[in-house]
Amino acid sequence: MKLHDTAIKTGQQVEITGFTGEDILRERLHEMGLRVGSLITVLGKAPFGGPLLIRFNTSFLALRSEEAACAQVMLK
Amino acid sequence: MRSSDVEVTVEEKCIALVGAPNSGKTTLYNWLTGSRFKTVNYPGATVEFSIGHLASHLGEGLMAMDTPGTYSLHPKSADEWVTLRSIYENPKVEKIDGIVVVVDGTQISRHLQLVMQLKETGFPMMVVITMSDLLRREGVEVDLAYLSQTFGCPVLPFDGLLAGGLREIVAAAQKLGSSKTPARPVPWGFELQEQKLKECERIAQEALRHKTDHAQERLNRIVATTEKLDRFLLHPVFGFVFFILIMGGLFASVFWLATPFMDTIDGWFSALGEQVATMGPGTLWADFLANGVVASFAAFMVFVPQIFILFIAIGLLESTGYLARAATLIDRPFSALGMSGRSFVPLLSGFACAVPAIIATRNIPSTKDRLITAFVVPLMSCSARLPVYALCIAFLFHGQSALYAGLAMAALYLGSIIVGAIAAGVVSKFIPRKEPSFFMMELPIYRRPKVRVLLRQAWTRTLSYVKRAGPIIFTFAVIIWVGTTFPNYQTEDAHQKLEDSYVGQMGKFIEPVVAPMGVDWRVGVGLISAFAAREVFVSSMAVTFNITDTDEDTQQQALLTQMSTATNSAGEKIFTVSSVIGLMIFFLIALQCMSTVGVQIRESGSWKFAIMQLVVFNVGAYLIVVAVVQGLRVLGVP
Q: Which of B550, B502, B541 is closest to B523 using CA atoms?
A: B541
B363 contacts B47 by C-beta, under 8 angstroms: yes
CA distance B401 to B221: 49
Q: What average pLDDT score do residues A47-70 get?
A: 90
Residue B89 has pLDDT above 60, yes or no: yes
Of B220, B227, B240, the CB nearest to A43: B227
Residues of A in contact with B226 (CB under 8 A): 60
pLDDT score, position B552: 54
For residue range A30-43, list pLDDT tens digits in order: 999 999 999 999 99
Q: In degrees to the nearest 10, what's the CA dihedral of B72, B75, B79, B81?
A: 110
Strands B155-157 and B125-130: parallel
Q: How many residues does chain B have?
A: 638
CA distance B12 to B566: 61
Range in B161-175, B481-495, B544-558 the model is least confident about:
B544-558
CA distance B629 to B638: 10
Strands B50-53 and B13-19: unpaired
Cα B19 to Cα B29, B218, B281, B532, distances in angstroms: 12, 24, 62, 39
For B166, the enclosing helix (H) or strand (E) is: helix B166-175
A17 and chain B in contact, CB less than 8 A: no
Residues of A in contact with B194 (CB under 8 A): 30, 35-36
pLDDT score, position B1: 34
pLDDT score, position B494: 63
Q: Which of B167, B23, B161 is closest to B83 using CA atoms?
A: B23
Report residue B247 CA to chain centroid gap: 16
Binned at pLDDT 50, 70 and 90, residue B41 comes out as: very low
The amino acid at B250: L
CA distance B359 to B196: 33
Report residue B301 CA to chain centroid gap: 18
Strands A13-19 and A71-75: antiparallel
Residue B399 has pLDDT above 80, yes or no: no
For residue range B111-121, list pLDDT tens digits in order: 999 999 999 99
DSSP tag of B378: G
Strand, coil or helix: A15 = strand
Q: Which of B109, B168, B171 is closest to B157 using CA atoms?
A: B168
pLDDT score, position B44: 43
A47 and chain B in contact, CB less than 8 A: yes
pLDDT score, position B583: 92
Of B193, B219, B239, the CB nearest to A47: B239
Residue B40 has pLDDT above 50, yes or no: no
* HEC string for B97-146: CEEEEEEECCCHHHHHHHHHHHHHHCCCEEEEEECHHHHHHCCCCCCHHH
Of A47, A55, A67, the CB nearest to B236: A47
Categorise residue A37: left if φ over 0, alpha if ψ from -120 to 50, beta otherwise: left
Q: Do A58 and B219 touch (CB under 8 A)?
A: yes
Please state, as a whole number, how many other Cβ atoms lie within 10 Å of the Cβ of residue B448.
10
Residue B561 has pLDDT above 90, yes or no: no
- DSSP E strands in B322-422: the ranges are none
The pTM of the full predicted model, rounded to 2 decimals, is 0.81
A13 and chain B in contact, CB less than 8 A: no
Distance from CA of A2 to the nearest CA of B (A): 16
A75 and chain B in contact, CB less than 8 A: no
B326 contacts B568 by C-beta, under 8 angstroms: no
Q: Do B445 and A58 touch (CB under 8 A)?
A: yes
The amino acid at B74: H
pLDDT score, position B619: 94
Distance from CA of A52 to the nearest CA of B (A): 9
Cα B429 to Cα B59, B505, B602, distances in angstroms: 56, 44, 23
Please give the residue of chain B at the shortest CA–CA distance from A68.
B440
Binned at pLDDT 50, 70 and 90, residue B589 comes out as: very high
Range in B14-18, B37-41, B167-171, B544-548 the model is least confident about:
B37-41
pLDDT score, position B574: 81
pLDDT score, position B22: 83
The fraction of chain B above a pLDDT of 90, given in percent, is: 23
Q: Do A62 and B331 touch (CB under 8 A)?
A: yes
Residues of A in contact with B227 (CB under 8 A): 43, 55, 60
Residues of B in contact with A44 (CB under 8 A): 231, 234-236
Distance from CA of B188 to the nearest CA of A (A): 10
The amino acid at B284: L
CA distance B147 to B133: 19
Residues of A in contact with B231 (CB under 8 A): 43-44
Q: B32 vs B10, which has greater pLDDT?
A: B32
Of B193, B235, B439, the CB nearest to A64: B439
Q: Do B443 and A49 touch (CB under 8 A)?
A: no
Of A28, A47, A58, the CB nearest to B240: A47
Binned at pLDDT 50, 70 and 90, residue B7 comes out as: low
Residue B592 has pLDDT above 80, yes or no: yes
Q: Do A60 and B227 touch (CB under 8 A)?
A: yes
Strand order across the beta sheet in which B125-130 lies: B50-53, B62-66, B13-19, B98-104, B125-130, B155-157
For residue range B220-256, list pLDDT tens digits in order: 888 888 999 999 999 988 998 999 898 888 877 777 7
Across chain B, mean pLDDT equals: 83
Binned at pLDDT 50, 70 and 90, residue B470 comes out as: confident
CA distance B125 to B116: 11
With 0-12 / 13-18 / 19 or more C-beta atoms within 10 angstroms meaning exposed / middle / buried, residue B633 is middle
Kindly report each contact of residues B234-242 with a partner whose C-beta sits within 8 Å and lies 24 or more positions away, as own/partner: B234/A43, B234/A44, B234/A46, B234/A53, B234/B325, B234/B328, B234/B329, B235/A44, B235/A47, B236/A44, B236/A45, B236/A46, B236/A47, B237/A47, B239/A46, B239/A47, B239/B329, B240/A47, B240/A48, B240/B329
Strand, coil or helix: B558 = helix
Residues of B in contact with A26 (CB under 8 A): 190
Strands B98-104 and B125-130: parallel
Of B109, B113, B443, the CB nearest to A62: B443
Please state, as a whole number, how many other Cβ atoms lie within 10 Å of the Cβ of residue B447.
17
A76 contacts A13 by C-beta, under 8 angstroms: yes
A21 and chain B in contact, CB less than 8 A: no
Rg of chain A over all Cα atoms, to the nearest angstrom: 11
CA distance B543 to B288: 10
For residue range B523-539, list pLDDT tens digits in order: 888 887 777 678 778 87
Across chain A, mean pLDDT equals: 90
Q: Which of B382, B384, B305, B299 is closest to B560 using CA atoms?
A: B299
Test mutation, A6, A52, A64, chain B, max B CBs within 10 A: A64
Strands A52-56 and A39-45: antiparallel
**Going by C-beta distance under 8 Å and a sequence separation of 6 or more, which residues neighbour residue A11?**
A41, A42, A43
